Amino acid sequence: MARYAVGEDVKVKMPRGLSKRGVMGISVLYTTSPEAKFDGAVGTVTEINPKGPYGIPLYLVDFRGHENRVSIPWQVQWFREEWIVSMERKDDKLQVADRTAASGYGRTTTGESS
């Protein structure tokens, strides 16, 4: 079952991770992929391929007609389902916050010496 529908506005959100310097950004596993250049861009889903390569659904996102702050290299691109988020959903921010909280940056000691 497709998570997004044709005509729905989506935003590209590539997986996040730390670089060697400890700076949060696009995960180093995806920085060299062409899709990483679209991070933060808003577009409209125009086509869905439910049985893409390896059985992963792909979404064709069209960026024409949207005011994007990022410079995109071309107008349309196929994206995996986990690389895009809907513009209408409010719970996407909560999911991103949950992922960053689980990355191990919480306080692990009480501050008291034993």
- DSSP class of residue 54 equals G
Residue 66: CB atoms within 10 Å: 14
- DSSP class of residue 14 equals P
pLDDT (tens, 9 = 90+) of the chain, 114 residues, equals 568 889 899 999 999 999 889 999 888 888 888 888 899 899 999 999 998 888 889 999 999 988 888 778 889 999 999 899 998 755 544 444 444 444 555 555 666 665
Annotated domain spans of the chain = 9-101
Residue with tokens 């590209």: 12
